[in-house]
Chains A and B, each alone.
Chain A
């Protein structure tokens, strides 16, 4: 069975600092997709960034970047120059060959003023 593990239930950082959220996953598939989703207090799920497993280059979206280590099955999210609006629950997710998205338990991120 595929699993997604986020080992940090909660994190707090000062505004403007850089923070890294960890994620590991387990799968026997060779081609798949990985995502980071943000869920703010409104509870609307927002796609932050995605990575295709067959691409070696790490995905980047403005202040958000990932460190994808396929052999280690690791997919961490780095948020640079963190902003108050980044405060949210962050979910790491995996899409399998059946197109099902499996979520980790989430990391609650607090950006402190």
Chain B
């Protein structure tokens, strides 16, 4: 299957700083990328949907000014957690869909963010 690479795998940052997470489709073009948040032992909660070249669509309750999403190319989407606080600590996962493939979506390996 297609490969989605997410970087970094884990990051620790100080409260008040910003952190950028990258999601790359390595061998395919992804017209749509999704960002999820997963709390320990819980399900994946969709945060936002990003389409290449357009603004991301955020789910209800997700602060768009806090979680900045950029999908500048068909192979790269980034999630920036701005002014991070301890409550933002979580596991963040991206997924990407192959253009014209129907329903297949591939997931990155996730990023564990710890804000201290």
- Tell me the count of chain A residues lying within 8 A, CB to CB, of chain B: 21
- Shortest Cβ gap from A78 to chain B (Å): 21
Cβ-neighbour of B34 out of A52, A91, A101, A105 (below 8 A): A101
- B14-67 CB contacts (< 8 Å) to partner A: 32, 34, 38, 41-46, 49
The verdict on A33 contacting chain B, using a C-beta distance below 8 Å, is: yes
* Interface residue B79 (Cβ < 8 Å from any Cβ of A): no
| Chain B hits for A50, CB < 8 A | 103
Total count of chain B residues near the partner, CB < 8 A: 21
Query: Interface segment, A19-27, A39-47, A55-63, A66-74?
Result: A39-47
Residue of A nearest to B49 (CB): A100
B contact residues around A46 at 8 Å (CB) = 107
Q: List 10 A-B contacts (CB under 8 A).
A: A33-B103, A43-B91, A43-B93, A44-B110, A45-B93, A99-B32, A101-B34, A102-B46, A103-B44, A106-B42
